[in-house]
Amino acid sequence: MSFSQVFHRTIFPTHFITCRVQCLQSPKSDLFHLPFSRTLRTQKSWKDLHQYLCQENVILKIKLKAVKKEAELQHKNWITYENRSNRLLLLEQPWEPSLKKQKIMTHETATLIAGEKILVGLDSFKEIVGRGSTIIDKILFISEFIECKAIVSLIVRPRRFGKTINLTMLREFFSIPIHPDNENYRYELFKDTKIMERSDVYNKHFCKYPVIFLSLKGYESCSTWSSMRARLCQHLATLYEDHHYVYNQVSHKMLNKSCFDSISSGKFKDGVTENALFYLSKYLKNYHKNKCIILIDEYDHPLNVAYQYQYYEEACSFFASLFEALLKDNDENLKKALLVGVSRITKSGYLSGLNNLTVFPMYNKEFANYFGFTEDEIFILLQHNNKEGQLDGVRQWYNGYRAGNGLHLYNPWSINSFINKGTLEAHWINTGGTKMIKDLFWNSTEDFKNNTSILLRDCTINVGIMEDIDYNMLNQKSNIDQVLWTLLYYAGYLTKDKNDNLCIPNMEVSTEWQEWLTNCNSFELDSILKAGEGRFDLKIEPTEKANFKIGVYMEFKVLKHDKHEKHQNKEKLQNKANEALEQIKNKRYFFDLPKFIEQCVICEVTCQGKNVYIVGEVLNSW
């Protein structure tokens, strides 16, 4: 095939060539310089030339579109002073794209955008790529998401499994740039990645949709429903402020300005709050003439907090109304929606009213390789950071999550932390989100504790997990074990083997289980150390929610030790201990014990030299 055929048949249609030539005389003409002579000299084959010209074509189209957009903005007097909220704001100049600093590395099925360092804790795709940091290329998740038949999708994965990074990646790819953001800047984020091989997806969907991105993180301190509602109102106000450009552009019949102002201020009534996201989707659809993509991060976090602080019913009712208004029967304004979280709370939670929801847990094959690191991705990461010699240790510490299609996955947080610190240790277990599980752990039954001991011996257990979690079951002893196994599985403390039995994934997670066992929090220890005042030296009382309501009360006495006496009087030691125990019973030191305690164990510990005598009694009434 000749150069002329490559050039004319596959790349530049006549109408685009004409536009390009017309722009050569403009002040922006330097944007459209295509070095054909250099291309012919450096490309080794017609295939390479074709690929090069395809890339140049994409760049030229984007730059031409940017020039046209700038002209339109100038025509509308957008580059001017705008009076908003009684203050003058000078609109910023368009963001200038910088060349991608990373190089592309591949190994088998893995592609690495290789930078100088890994930023642990940063979960913004734009920031990671923009700063030249290292990131695994999961970008084909974009095409799988947009081509998925589900309209509203829920993906549940353990914490720190790359959910937020993937969600922000979707936002950067799909959302229509709002000045000073622009397509040229966005293109640099995705240049040389796998999505550029999918020209059909790129040309049809890149920067084509209004996107509503709502993060429900940061509610840990909301101990009351009023504080949670106030925090949510702040998030909604920020969303409205981000899309304030529709305020004067949408018809008055469509947009209620007083309602818009109320939401933007962060102070509005329940009825308005519950419909705030629905209204915003309608405004954006009307302005952009295209349906919205909805992205919601940590959808289950507010419900977990509400349960812990005992205002679950209020929060569940409110969020159910909020999401139903946005995601149910909103076909006119909704293109697709994706929610991500840790727990699968759909039938009993605030997604129970959505009949168009499709759930994708880890054991499904859909999206299996886009959350967590695969074996190939681990190898290329370690190779890039000169740590491939520690692959066996990494497997032992961090491998073991079994996903759909038989994939074995690693927790990204653990791997990135290991690469940064260089130590094989538990990095993930102190990243939060375990309070509720710890509380439930010690309210479990004897069967649960027996199965736990089996797991800690690196064995598997044949226990089924529930398809959906109902928080109302957490207070029912008959279901507590099954609910707890389900929570532990979705939270990443358990995985399934090839026979669908449950097991602990790896050494890192095993250390968390061991810590739970050695730091029992269902008993309160109180050391009094006021002997002779009618009080115990040590009491161990269960909390009211504990499964076994047994209290232990101990008193310690030390008899004088005579160094010159060769043989201690053991009978004297026993008599003193028995006398002290009778004194405890007769004087009823334990009369003010909590009412929920069912049994009381009293102990007297008497010491003399190296000899210790312990006497005790179990009381069922007092």
Strand, coil or helix: 344: coil
DSSP type of residue 370:
G
Confidence of residue 431 (pLDDT cuts 50, 70, 90): low
Contact (Cβ atoms closer than 8 angstroms) between residue 54 and residue 63: no
DSSP type of residue 564:
T
**Amino acid of residue 235:** H
Among 67-81, 205-219, 376-390, the minimum mean pLDDT is found in 67-81
Q: β-pairing, 538-542 with 523-527?
A: antiparallel
The CA distance from 340 to 153, in Å, is 8
| The pLDDT of residue 76 | 45
| The pLDDT of residue 352 | 78
SS3 assignment for 191-241: CCCHHHHCHHHHHHHCCCECEEEEECCCCCCCCCHHHHHHHHHHHHHHHHH
- 478-487 pLDDT tens trace: 778 888 899 9
What is the DSSP code string of 227-288? HHHHHHHHHHHHHHHHTGGGTTTS-TTT--HHHHHHHHHT---HHHHHTHHHHHHHHHHHHH
**pTM score > 0.85 for this model?**
no
Q: If 0-12 CB within 10 Å is exposed, 13-18 middle and 19+ buried, where does residue 620 land?
A: exposed
Among 304-318, 453-467, 532-546, the minimum mean pLDDT is found in 532-546
- 242-296 pLDDT tens trace: 999 998 888 777 788 888 888 888 877 767 788 999 999 999 999 999 999 999 9
* Percentage of residues of the chain with pLDDT beyond 90: 44
Report the alpha-carbon angle 531-533-536, nearest 5.
55
| The pLDDT of residue 533 | 42
- 5-45 pLDDT tens trace: 444 444 444 333 333 333 333 333 334 444 444 444 445 56
| The pLDDT of residue 144 | 97
Q: From residue 586, how far is each of 529, 559, 600, 616 by CA, in Å?
A: 20, 22, 15, 14
